[in-house]
Amino acid sequence: MYLYIKAVHIIFVVSWFAGLFYMVRLFIYHTEANDREESERKVLQKQFELMESKLWNIITVPSMILTVCSGLWMMIELKWYHHPWMIVKFLFVLGLLWYHFKCQVFMKQMREGMFKWTSTQLRIWNEVATIFLFAIVFLVVLKSAVSWLWGFVGLILFSMIIMLAVKIYKKARMRKG
């Protein structure tokens, strides 16, 4: 039974991350729609609100629930308290859950016409999920085979590279626009 639960877990992890990645892209487009003329802005924002709502309620939230439930089941089966890497993974998953619910707050704010973040800030926010993904996958694959110090250093370097890439992309967009 464990392998079936593991397969379900992997499928819904992929779906959850897909939902989170696409949701923040929709936030970026939703925010950028503010720069359009009034008639176009109203149509675009209404469409983005619909897309965000469907993505959130049909894919992202159910995937998160199934990921967490199957993950907890596996943690119990594996006797997680015997595996230090599993405790660290659990902490990253708690961070990902915080990220998930913060995205829900953003969605509600945008629906109410509050755009607190710029599209560039949202692009950086989108990369936070990427950092969680890398950290969790490396932990699961390498388990205790990697030094915690080198793992942390690698995660910091990876985060810096991602942030640098966002800044380079912003400069490239500014030149085009």
E-strand spans in the chain?
Answer: none
- Tell whether 30 is in a known binding site: no
Q: Which pTM does this prediction carry?
A: 0.85
Dihedral angle of Cα 128, 129, 131, 133, to the nearest 10 degrees: 170
- Tell whether 89 is in a known binding site: yes
Amino acid present at 70: S
Q: How many distinct structural domains can be found in the chain?
A: 1
The string of pLDDT tens digits covering residues 102-124 is 999 999 999 999 999 999 899 99
Domain range enclosing 27: 1-175
C-alpha span between 160 and 69 (Å, rounded): 32
Report residue 79's pLDDT band, with 50, 70 and 90 as the boundaries: confident
The pLDDT of residue 149 is above 70? no
CB 169 within 8 A of CB 118: no
- Give the lowest-confidence range in 41-45, 134-138, 140-144: 140-144
> b/e map of 69-97 (b: 16 or more CB within 10 Å)?
ebbebbbeeeebeeeebbebbbebbeebe
C-alpha span between 149 and 155 (Å, rounded): 10
C-alpha span between 46 and 22 (Å, rounded): 17
Tokens of 35: 């720069």
The string of pLDDT tens digits covering residues 38-74 is 999 999 999 999 999 999 999 999 999 999 999 999 9
- Give the lowest-confidence range in 16-25, 57-66, 158-167: 158-167
